[in-house]
């Protein structure tokens, strides 16, 4: 008997709708950092104080992604999704109207809470809307590509907005785009959840312990280098993270409606997808975090010029992501993911040759190669992970995948920033030990010392990218254990039939 394919009447419009909110959420994560110098000057605060604007956002987002993923499964997704995008528009406006650091911190946290609704709910809506397996993979590929596009548009939009208007404009830009996204969501998105369970059995204890564990973990990853990884503050957060996580696992084993169903991790393919995502995103985020620093500090590029260099990354992702989704119907996803991660490893190896003599073209080519590799495997990996769980739990499964990627990014940035610092110190010491300055001029002596510092820094950046190669290569190997489920909504009632 031939398999019956069901199509949603506006499925591509629905995809475009959720991509708007996803774009805004990812854009906000990059564009606001550009405004820090202006915010510091306006509010008369220190760099350390300003860093909490970013830290608070990251912590709140990490805590609430899995919670909203579960809520979407329990109370329905359309209303929750609309609440998220409307809330994001309102809190963006409030953030733009902030009058001091405290008010901006509050509104940024509220922004993070509302935007954390997007990832698990949007991905679940896409999975339910595209009931044809091949088209669903392509849709996830296009949706995944929006992350790279937003990362590029952050510097491109942020620089001119801040220079022309003020730092407040980076928040106001969300309002008109968010209003369009809200209108489209109301008109085109249909509720995937047909049997709402309600909040009666919502796992409050599990949500609290998970939130405490994630909050403490992200906090120490973000602040640990400044505190010192062995400092009292860091040790306290290690203890809080561990104890609360153990409590969370014990609670989830007995909860009727667990925030994270631990049985997911008994599915080999799902666990392999989480591990692959974690390792590869750690390598990618760790490597990409330091690249703008090198471009601006050693190549002399402005913020806007740096953003232009990231355009090839967006192009590579936009080409490869839908291509990966299309090829997933012809090849096993695990091979596509493995090849994609291996291409990413090659790109990182090319970056390990980084030098101040490089031109923008040298950077752009490597950015394209890396994005192409990651884009090729991103949608097959996401589709493979979500295909292994029951349909009504896709929301929480996708939130676990999102959480793995977010935490991996935080780990990557923390670890690679530490590697960069430690490598610089050891390289500088080695250069000093093996350098003899035969000059009595103080000017020449100072110039040589400065050149040694530059050389030590270049070697340190190379070390970071070499480390990223190892992560990406391990990710390509773990991808071979990711197998897509053959289940494709068989026997389930379609959401909307083609009219």
Closest CA to 365 of 377, 347, 378: 347
Same structural domain, 361 and 469? yes
Q: Examine residue 496 and state whether it is found in any structural domain, yes or no.
A: no
Please return the burial class of 187, using the count of CB atoms within 10 Å of its CB with bins 0-12, 13-18 and 19+: exposed
Same structural domain, 283 and 306? yes
- Residue 422 CB neighbour total at 10 angstroms: 12
Q: Examine residue 416 and state whether it is found in any structural domain, yes or no.
A: yes
d(CA 94, CA 299): 37
Q: What is the mean pLDDT of the chain?
A: 82
Q: Examine residue 400 and state whether it is found in any structural domain, yes or no.
A: yes
Same structural domain, 270 and 413? yes
Same structural domain, 180 and 246? no
Same structural domain, 184 and 209? no
List pLDDT tens digits, range 38-69: 888 899 888 778 878 877 888 888 888 888 88
* Residue numbers of the chain with a pLDDT score lower than 50: 1-6, 488-499
Q: Examine residue 333 and state whether it is found in any structural domain, yes or no.
A: yes
Largest CA distance in the chain: 90
Cα angle 403, 291, 108 (rounded to 5 degrees) comes to 45
pTM over 0.85? The answer is no
Q: Are 326 and 138 in contact (CB under 8 A)?
A: yes
Residue 162: C-alpha distances to residues 336, 365, 479 (Å) = 40, 29, 41
Cα angle 31, 149, 317 (rounded to 5 degrees) comes to 145
Q: Examine residue 2 and state whether it is found in any structural domain, yes or no.
A: no
Same structural domain, 304 and 426? yes
Continuous H helices in 32-173: 36-43, 47-75, 78-96, 101-115, 118-129, 133-164, 169-172
Same structural domain, 78 and 133? yes
**What pLDDT is stored for residue 90 in this prediction?**
96
**What pLDDT is stored for residue 389 in this prediction?**
73
**What pLDDT is stored for residue 247 in this prediction?**
94
Residue 41: C-alpha distances to residues 45, 46, 106, 135, 188 (Å) = 7, 9, 19, 49, 44
Closest CA to 403 of 111, 63, 82: 63
Percent helix / strand / coil, the chain, rounded to 5: 80, 0, 20
**What pLDDT is stored for residue 294 in this prediction?**
85
Same structural domain, 106 and 31? yes
- Domain of 51, CATH number, reads 1.20.1250.20
Same structural domain, 183 and 288? yes
Number of domains in the chain: 2
d(CA 459, CA 427): 7
**What pLDDT is stored for residue 61 in this prediction?**
83
Same structural domain, 175 and 240? no
Structural domain including 246 reads 203-256
Closest CA to 221 of 355, 349, 92, 59: 59
Same structural domain, 341 and 415? yes
Q: Examine residue 84 and state whether it is found in any structural domain, yes or no.
A: yes
Over the Cα atoms of the chain, what is R_g?
23
**What pLDDT is stored for residue 7 in this prediction?**
53
Residue that is last in its domain, among 256, 284, 319: 256
Same structural domain, 207 and 193? no
Q: Are 336 and 324 in contact (CB under 8 A)?
A: yes
What letter does residue 32 receive in the DSSP assignment?
G
d(CA 142, CA 322): 5
Please return the burial class of 276, using the count of CB atoms within 10 Å of its CB with bins 0-12, 13-18 and 19+: buried
**What pLDDT is stored for residue 238 in this prediction?**
94
Q: Examine residue 498 and state whether it is found in any structural domain, yes or no.
A: no
**What pLDDT is stored for residue 4 in this prediction?**
45
């Amino acid at each position: 008997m031939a398999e019956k394919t069901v199509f949603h009447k506006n499925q591509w419009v629905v995809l475009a709708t959720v991509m708007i909110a996803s774009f805004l959420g990812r854009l906000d994560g990059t564009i606001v950092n550009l405004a820090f110098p202006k915010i510091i000057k306006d509010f008369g605060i220190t760099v350390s104080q300003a860093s909490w604007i970013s830290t608070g956002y990251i912590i709140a987002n990490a805590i609430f992604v899995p919670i909203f993923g579960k809520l979407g499964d329990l109370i329905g997704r359309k209303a929750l999704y609309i609440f998220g995008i409307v809330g994001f528009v309102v809190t963006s406006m409030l953030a733009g109207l902030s009058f001091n650091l405290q008010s901006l911190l509050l509104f940024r946290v509220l922004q993070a809470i509302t935007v954390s609704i997007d990832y698990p709910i949007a991905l679940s809506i896409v999975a339910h809307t595209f009931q044809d397996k091949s088209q669903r993979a392509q849709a996830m590929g296009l949706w995944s590509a929006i992350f790279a596009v937003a990362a590029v548009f952050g510097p491109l939009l942020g620089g001119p907005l801040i220079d022309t208007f003020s730092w407040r404009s980076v928040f106001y830009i969300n309002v008109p785009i968010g209003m369009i996204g809200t209108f489209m969501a109301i008109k085109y998105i249909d509720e995937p959840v047909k049997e709402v369970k309600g909040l009666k059995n919502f796992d409050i204890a599990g949500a609290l312990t998970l939130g405490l564990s994630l909050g403490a973990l992200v906090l120490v990853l973000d602040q640990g280098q400044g505190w010192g990884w062995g400092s009292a503050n860091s040790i306290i957060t290690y203890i809080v993270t561990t104890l609360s996580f153990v409590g969370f696992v014990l609670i989830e084993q007995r909860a009727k409606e667990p925030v994270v169903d631990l049985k997911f991790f008994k599915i080999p393919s799902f666990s392999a997808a989480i591990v692959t995502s974690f390792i590869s995103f750690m390598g990618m985020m760790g490597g990409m975090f330091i690249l703008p620093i090198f471009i601006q500090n050693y190549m002399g590029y402005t913020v806007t010029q740096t953003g232009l260099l990231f355009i090839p990354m967006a192009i590579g992702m936009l080409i490869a992501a839908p291509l990966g989704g299309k090829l997933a119907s012809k090849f096993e996803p695990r091979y596509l993911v493995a090849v994609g991660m291996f291409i990413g490893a090659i790109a990182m190896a090319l970056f390990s040759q980084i030098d101040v003599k490089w031109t923008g073209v040298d950077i752009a080519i490597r950015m394209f190669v890396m994005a192409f590799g990651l884009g090729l495997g991103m949608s097959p990996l996401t589709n493979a992970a979500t295909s292994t769980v029951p349909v009504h739990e896709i929301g929480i499964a996708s939130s676990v995948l999102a959480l793995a990627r977010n935490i991996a990014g935080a780990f990557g940035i923390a670890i690679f920033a530490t590697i960069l610092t430690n490598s610089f110190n050891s390289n500088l010491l080695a250069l000093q030990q093996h350098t003899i300055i035969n000059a009595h001029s103080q000017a020449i002596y100072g110039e040589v010392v400065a050149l040694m510092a530059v050389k030590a820094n270049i070697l340190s950046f190379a070390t970071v990218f070499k480390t990223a190669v190892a992560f990406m290569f391990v990710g390509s190997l773990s991808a071979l254990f990711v197998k897509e489920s053959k289940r494709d909504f068989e026997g389930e009632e379609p959401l909307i039939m083609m009219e």
